[in-house]
Amino acid sequence: MMPAPSDQELLKARLAQARRLLALAQSGLHYATSAFDKERYAEIAGIAHQQLAAMASMQAGDVAALFAPETGYANPKLDVRCAVFNQAGQILLVREAVDNLWSLPGGWADVGVSPAENAAKEVREESGYTVNVVRLLAVWDMLKHGHPPSVFHIWKLVFLGEIVQAGEISGAETDAAQFFDIDDLPALSTGRILPEQIRRLDELRNNSDVEFD
């Protein structure tokens, strides 16, 4: 007899269905040519907004506003991060001002810069360190890892960065930067990075592999 799914598993399954429904509606609105089709796809999007709002304890209008910038053919969102190690093998983490939890420096991919340039920019703004991006370490689909449920489908790119010089934090999203031992990590923002992922990045930097989902 198969074990009953946990509440977390059920929530993830419902989120996956709502995300897929919203993606179909978004792509449908992009390609639809008749007013009838646009009306039906808009109705489907509204249903998906209601489903996501119920699972995230939000108002449907707030969910609609959250997804309002998402137009055109629906794609996963891209999160770009950078793993930076010092000579002692400690990893650089930044503290998120919004929740006082720690993460790798990084964020959503920006238009107009490459993924590697984006990673270096985020490190500079969030930690003060200027780095050279050496290579790609990992491409992760966050749905395949143990992150808390998210309304977005997110792919995460993690690059390896080498320190050039130190500086001052210039962004508003983080308020501290510090190096930590891999086996003595602070409380992490698990929606952004998991402790097992940090350990895996430490392994990947010591070989030539790129891990991908």
- CATH code of 77-212, in short, is 3.90.79.10
E strand or H helix at 204: helix 195-204
Residue with tokens 């895996």: 200
pTM of the model: 0.77
β-strands 211-212, 77-84 pairing:
unpaired
Q: What is the pLDDT of residue 12?
A: 77
Q: What is the pLDDT of residue 118?
A: 96
Whether residue 187 contacts residue 98, with contact meaning beta carbons closer than 8 Å, is answered with no
SS3 205: coil
Q: Tell me the average pLDDT of the chain.
A: 89
Whether residue 70 contacts residue 26, with contact meaning beta carbons closer than 8 Å, is answered with yes
User: Edge-to-edge, what's the strand order for the sheet holding 91-96?
Assistant: 102-103, 91-96, 174-180
Summarize the confidence of residues 9-22 as an average pLDDT: 81
List the structure tokens of 196. Answer: 């097992």
- Torsions phi, psi for 105 (to 5 deg): -60, 140
Statement: residue 2 has pLDDT above 70 = no
Whether residue 139 contacts residue 211, with contact meaning beta carbons closer than 8 Å, is answered with yes
Statement: residue 91 has pLDDT above 80 = yes
pLDDT in tens, 110-129: 989 999 999 999 999 999 99
Summarize the confidence of residues 53-81 as an average pLDDT: 79
Q: What is the pLDDT of residue 40?
A: 86
Contacts of 146 (CB under 8 A, 6+ apart): 190, 194, 196
pLDDT in tens, 138-197: 999 999 999 988 888 899 999 999 999 999 998 889 999 999 999 999 999 999 999 999
